[in-house]
Structure 1
Amino acid sequence: MKTKIIITTTLLVLATITNIKGQQALTTQQENNMNNTDLAALRKSKVKTYFKKIDDGQFDEEYFNLYTDDVELYYPKFGFEKGKEGIRNFGKTIGAHLQNLTHDIDGFNYIISDNMVVVEGTEKGITRSGKKWPDYRISHGKFCNVFEFEGELIKRVHIYVDPDFTSEDTDRVNIFNNPFQAVNKKTLSSTKEVLEEFYAIQSGKKKGNILDLFAENVDWDLPGNQEKFPWTGKRQTKKEIENFFKELYSNVQSEKFDIDFIAINGENATVTGHLSSKILAYNKIFDTEFVTIFKVMNGKIVKYHFLEDSYKLNEEMQSKTPINNRTLSK
């Protein structure tokens, strides 16, 4: 009987010890998981700081403190560099070529595993020669960065991107030109067809949504005094172009619009003509010759510059006469 009691007591003690050790192990694992989660969040924050600093051009102490002293960098065609001095050398090289660089940080995709953070995203910019990229025809601004961390610091950053930002590497483009897209390209509207549809919709001869003729990103410019004439100025997105037409139709009444000729050279086109418009806020007719510069890629308008005598417009519309509750100051 005593033997049974001793055995039972021993088993209970062992079970209790095992249970305590199990709980301790579980607690340790939970703490490790929590620490790993916090570390992953911190590393992701460091990566965001990396991109923000680059976009702002702030290569200060905080920027260089993101790296270990022996950090390794790789960039296509540039090659490898080591250490913070190597990071500086790369910055000088890329800075001599690019005037501006912006990453779509809010649109990044992240893959975080162990000590690695991989970022997939898009970027855009302006070269020192003034060329904007990507052109969304050959270059699309896609990139992928691989960050390896040592604790809280970046130990390795390998950047995978096409350095031919402005699609000038014509030999490589010819090599990798996708032959399977040839059939699709044949179905795209030509520059002439796009312009014909543009003016047919604009004149009311054809029904349709004129916004459908534009790409998602457009180099749009209509110079003028934006304070007096809110439909003028630079725009870039379809939403901004939609607002242009709303501003135009609520402030301007077309009296006459004649095209003299259209010159087309591949993707580029120039249209010249003469127009007469009533500026409703002033109840005055404005006459001017105009030139419109188009660029059409993949069946969509990617450039629209409308040039008229904006100085004459500003000089002729000087009164503050309110018409239909419209009042524009000088």
Structure 2
Amino acid sequence: MEKKTLNEIRKNKIETYFKKIDSVIFDDEYFDLYAEDVEMYYPKFGFEKGKQGIKNFGTVIGKHLEKLTHDIQNFRYTFSDTVIVVEGNEKGVTRSGKEWPDNHTSFGKFCNVFEFDGELIKRVHIYVDPDFTSEDTERLAIFRNDSGKQNSVPSTRDVVEEFYDLQFGRKEGNIVDLFADYVDWDLPGNKDKFPWTGKRETREEIELFFQELYNNIQSESFTIDFISVEGENAAVAGQLSSRILKYDKVFSTEFVVIFKVINGKIVKYHFLEDSYKLNEEMK
């Protein structure tokens, strides 16, 4: 028998995850899919940790849904190191007897991000509209533009996504225009060795940052695992690899970026990476 690759094993684990959920079978096999310190996230619900956290979420979602079915056969998988992203369609019935999606204002689209430790799920972040039956009339009116007017102020998520579109050339424009006149900016590091690090406040200083950054490093890879938004605040997590030109060495690290957006402008930008590792490796 041909030995399965690790990605094939992980994909099978994901399929089992969805089959168990659809069948409402939360047995030992289901909980054995997870690492002991698993982290999960669901919109409006928030974060939970550990297998007990998985049980807590199941109790909450079970109070709302009578039935849930995923179109497992037509899932789209994206593999990246220990992360597997699953895009697909789902349908169901609420406890009040309403079927969804209606394919008019709700479409049953979802995306799950799984991160593995070996063969075990260590993180599952679920991205879906929890308003399954489109009863959130205020938000529906906004998105359907029932008032005939468009909101001219972009959302926090829109600003963050545009920031990365501009930074990586997916969109034309001046990235500095996304920032307010005064910004709480911090990228901790040894400024004597790495001039792009440190605190900044003005748009002129931020413009200088991008000049210094592009003059001193060459991006090898930059992967965003997820963007989490709560009102004016956003957190972006991922991994990057950059060649530090002065030392001709590649530096790899996980990162977290903290944004705060007010009236469509970035007023806070804190970039957190392993600055100690950077300082030690570049000699």
TM norm structure 1? 0.43
Corresponding residue of 2:39: 72
The answer on 1:142 being equivalent to 2:126 is no
C-alpha distance in structure 1 between counterparts of 2:16 and 2:79, whole Å: 16
C-alpha distance in structure 2 between counterparts of 1:70 and 1:170, whole Å: 37
Instruction: Please tell me the root mean square deviation across aligned C-alpha atoms, in Å.
Output: 2.0
* 1:219-261 residue CA offsets vs partner (Å, 9 max, x unmatched): xxxxxxxxxxxxxxxxxxxxxxxxxxxxxxxxxxxxxxxxxxx
Corresponding residue of 1:86: 53
C-alpha distance in structure 1 between counterparts of 2:27 and 2:79, whole Å: 26
* 1:10-63 residue CA offsets vs partner (Å, 9 max, x unmatched): xxxxxxxxxxxxxxxxxxxxxxxx98x710000000000000000000000000
C-alpha distance in structure 1 between counterparts of 2:6 and 2:12, whole Å: 10
Aligned-residue offset at 1:178: 5.3
For 1:201-212, what aligned pairs fall within 5 Å after superposition?
none
Where 2:133 maps in the other structure, the secondary structure is coil
For 1:39-54, what aligned pairs fall within 5 Å after superposition?
39-54=6-21
AA aligned opposite 2:108: G
The answer on 1:175 being equivalent to 2:135 is no
Where 2:5 maps in the other structure, the secondary structure is helix
Aligned-residue offset at 1:175: 1.5
AA aligned opposite 1:143: F
C-alpha distance in structure 1 between counterparts of 2:120 and 2:62, whole Å: 24
Report sequence identity in percent. 67
The answer on 1:155 being equivalent to 2:122 is yes
Where 1:129 maps in the other structure, the secondary structure is coil
* 1:57-105 residue CA offsets vs partner (Å, 9 max, x unmatched): 0000000000000000000000000000000000000000000000000
AA aligned opposite 1:160: Y
The answer on 1:125 being equivalent to 2:92 is yes
Residues 135 and 39 from structure 1, CA distance in 2 versus in 1: closer, same or farther, beyond 3 angstroms? same
C-alpha distance in structure 2 between counterparts of 1:78 and 1:176, whole Å: 22
C-alpha distance in structure 1 between counterparts of 2:59 and 2:102, whole Å: 25
Where 1:43 maps in the other structure, the secondary structure is helix
Give unmatched runs, 5+ long, in structure 2: 150-283
C-alpha distance in structure 1 between counterparts of 2:130 and 2:31, whole Å: 23
Corresponding residue of 2:77: 110
Aligned-residue offset at 1:113: 1.5
C-alpha distance in structure 2 between counterparts of 1:77 and 1:173, whole Å: 17
Aligned-residue offset at 1:173: 0.8
AA aligned opposite 1:103: H
Where 1:44 maps in the other structure, the secondary structure is helix
Aligned-residue offset at 1:112: 1.1
With a CA cutoff of 8 Å and minimum separation of 6, indicate the structure with the bigger relative contact order: 2
Where 2:114 maps in the other structure, the secondary structure is strand
C-alpha distance in structure 2 between counterparts of 1:103 and 1:120, whole Å: 11
C-alpha distance in structure 2 between counterparts of 1:59 and 1:175, whole Å: 38
Aligned-residue offset at 1:136: 0.6
Name the structure where strand makes up a greater proportion of residues: 2
Where 1:168 maps in the other structure, the secondary structure is coil
Name the structure where helix makes up a greater proportion of residues: 1
For 1:1-330, what aligned pairs fall within 5 Å after superposition?
38-177=5-144
Aligned-residue offset at 1:115: 0.5
For these two proteins, the number of residue pairs brought into alignment is 147
Give unmatched runs, 5+ long, in structure 1: 1-33, 183-330
AA aligned opposite 2:60: T
Aligned-residue offset at 1:119: 0.3
Provide runs of 4+ in structure 1 moved above 6 Å.
Answer: none
